[in-house]
Amino acid sequence: MHRFHHSRLSLLVAALAVFVVLPGLAGPVDAATKRWTARCDDVRVRTQPQVSSKAVTSLDEGARVVAVKTVRAGKWTARCGGALESRRWLKIVSINGTSTKSLFGRDAIFAAKGLFRYVKTLDAKEPDPTPEPAPTTSLISNCSVRLRSTASTSGGSAGTIDENTLVTSSGTVTGSSWQADCGSTVSGNSWLKLTAVGGRSVSSLYGVNVVYAARGLFRSVTTTSGFREGIDISHWQGTINWSMVAAAGKSFSIAKATEGVGYRDDTYARNKTNAMANGLKFGAYHFARPENDPVREADWFVDNADYQHGMLIPTLDLERTGGRGPTGLTNWTKAWLGRVQARLGVKPMIYMSPHFWRTNLNDTRWFADNGYDVLWIAHWGVSTPQPPAENWGGKGWTFWQYTSDGVVPGISGRVDLNRYRFDSFARVTY
């Protein structure tokens, strides 16, 4: 057996000590990475980097998180200072100073990266992260628009898109001057760099990574109304591209489920699945036929709407009298609402026009005064809706259908447009 020289033995011991210690240091160094803050409210945090995975919580604007890495996974779309989309997710290990392990029993959770603002690197020796590509923005064409191969009117034509086409832009560049008639005469030298048109990538449509279009011929899909924007639909809208609807800034949809007794809308189940999968709040309505028994109609609705927690509360759509006078129609409405409440445990909302309510239900306040607080009013062509029943018992409207003549990317033909008056859907969620 050979003997090691004392100095060599000391070196070996030191080397072994380093070998033992370094693995123990690797975990903390990897975990102490980047701190971020939420850029907007209602940022969903999920168990996996997929919009279909379970949401464990939602964060308010300014919430602080620590993320150990960025992963590329399922596509997400959101509104956060504009319409955004990406496949990048933060792998989060701490929220507001508390570990995800203690909060949710999970080593890490995930949230869409574009909804956060980078704050700093926690390890001072670590360099700042490589800047993320700017989030994409969704816009809608105001008129027929010619697409160009370069940011110039002399650039080759890649094609022409119709009015109300949804596009995705990765940013703007300054190019040659342009002028066009697009509802009014507009001009400028700012050009959009388009990466998708009508929900399809530019590369698949035109064989190039980007095409250009005059910026002034488009409008943002984000609303400036101050309300949450949404739609209501039925089989008349046919097959809907829900990812485009979501990208166009719509945050909720209410769909026809049933009518009278015996009629089911054959698009309801598909619309429910796809709308919810694309992040829209979703509810169901029943078109009333008051010539029938109200309890049978209520049971038909509940049996076919397949209500589940997280949906918007159910709706009674009152547009027909069924030959009943004001007293008879009021009693019929009470019976339908009471039966649905008994079965689902929630008071439904009521949809009607002010004229219908005042003419056919004698402008009764009974419903507003007895807990049916959620009014969905159909009042077109006005700047502000005028609820019946003394401003719905002083409570005002909750949803407002302000036109039946809307145009939304992803939907062929016209569609009803609606607004929700409050910031949070909590008060109208089943």
Q: Which residues are catalytic?
A: 232, 317, 319
Q: Are 192 and 218 within 8 A, CB to CB?
A: yes
- Residues composing the chain: 430
Phi, psi (5° rounding) for residue 418? -135, 160
Helix, strand or coil for residue 163? Answer: coil
Q: Are 152 and 175 within 8 A, CB to CB?
A: yes
Helix, strand or coil for residue 81? Answer: coil
Q: Give CA–CA dist 147/61, Å, rounded.
A: 37
E-only strand ranges, 96-214: 98-99, 109-112, 116-121, 137-141, 145-148, 157-161, 166-181, 185-197, 200-201, 211-214
Q: Give CA–CA dist 200/158, Å, rounded.
A: 15
**Residue 386: beta bridge partners?**
none
Q: Give CA–CA dist 223/115, Å, rounded.
A: 18
Close Cβ partners of 318 (under 8 Å, ≥ 6 residues apart): 288, 333, 350, 351, 352, 356, 357
- CB-based burial label for 322 (10 Å; 0-12, 13-18, 19+): middle
Q: Give CA–CA dist 286/263, Å, rounded.
A: 10
Phi, psi (5° rounding) for residue 181? -100, 110
Helix, strand or coil for residue 367? Answer: helix
Q: Are 78 and 114 within 8 A, CB to CB?
A: yes
Q: Give CA–CA dist 223/82, Å, rounded.
A: 9
**Which is it for strands 252-259 and 64-79: parallel, antiparallel or unpaired?**
unpaired
| Dihedral Cα 243, 423, 302, 269, nearest 10 deg | 0
